[in-house]
């Protein structure tokens, strides 16, 4: 099964959280912060959204920063993805 976003939505996969601190201390799963950096897997075509023309500037492979509790969680097989609106993306990581 494949997921193809519609309108101004973007399919992202979060980058795994760090399991150790910079000083080498191993963190328990509960102590790890929810990652905010994600990789763009697929983007919708854009188009008219709420009466406004939306152009897509993100592309698959981009690394982005999103809000901690943004989007809809989707699980396909063993992989977990999040679907967000392009406007929910806070920044592109270069």
Structure confidence by residue, pLDDT tens digits, 18-71 = 555 566 666 555 544 555 899 999 999 998 888 889 899 999 999 999 988 889
Query: Given this model, what pLDDT does residue 52 score?
Result: 86
Tell me the C-alpha distance between 66 and 73, whole Å: 13
CA-angle at 1, arms to 18 and 8, nearest 5°: 70
| Surface-to-core class of residue 44, CB atoms within 10 Å of its CB (0-12 exposed, 13-18 middle, 19+ buried) | buried
């Amino acid at each position: 099964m494949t997921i193809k976003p519609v309108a101004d939505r973007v399919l992202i996969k979060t980058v795994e959280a760090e399991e150790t601190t910079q000083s080498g201390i191993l963190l328990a799963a509960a102590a790890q912060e929810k990652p905010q950096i994600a990789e763009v897997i697929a983007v919708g075509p854009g188009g008219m959204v709420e009466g406004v023309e939306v152009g897509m500037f993100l592309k698959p492979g981009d690394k982005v920063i999103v809000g901690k509790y943004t989007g809809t969680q989707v699980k396909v097989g063993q992989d977990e993805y999040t679907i967000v609106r392009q406007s929910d993306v806070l920044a592109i990581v270069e």
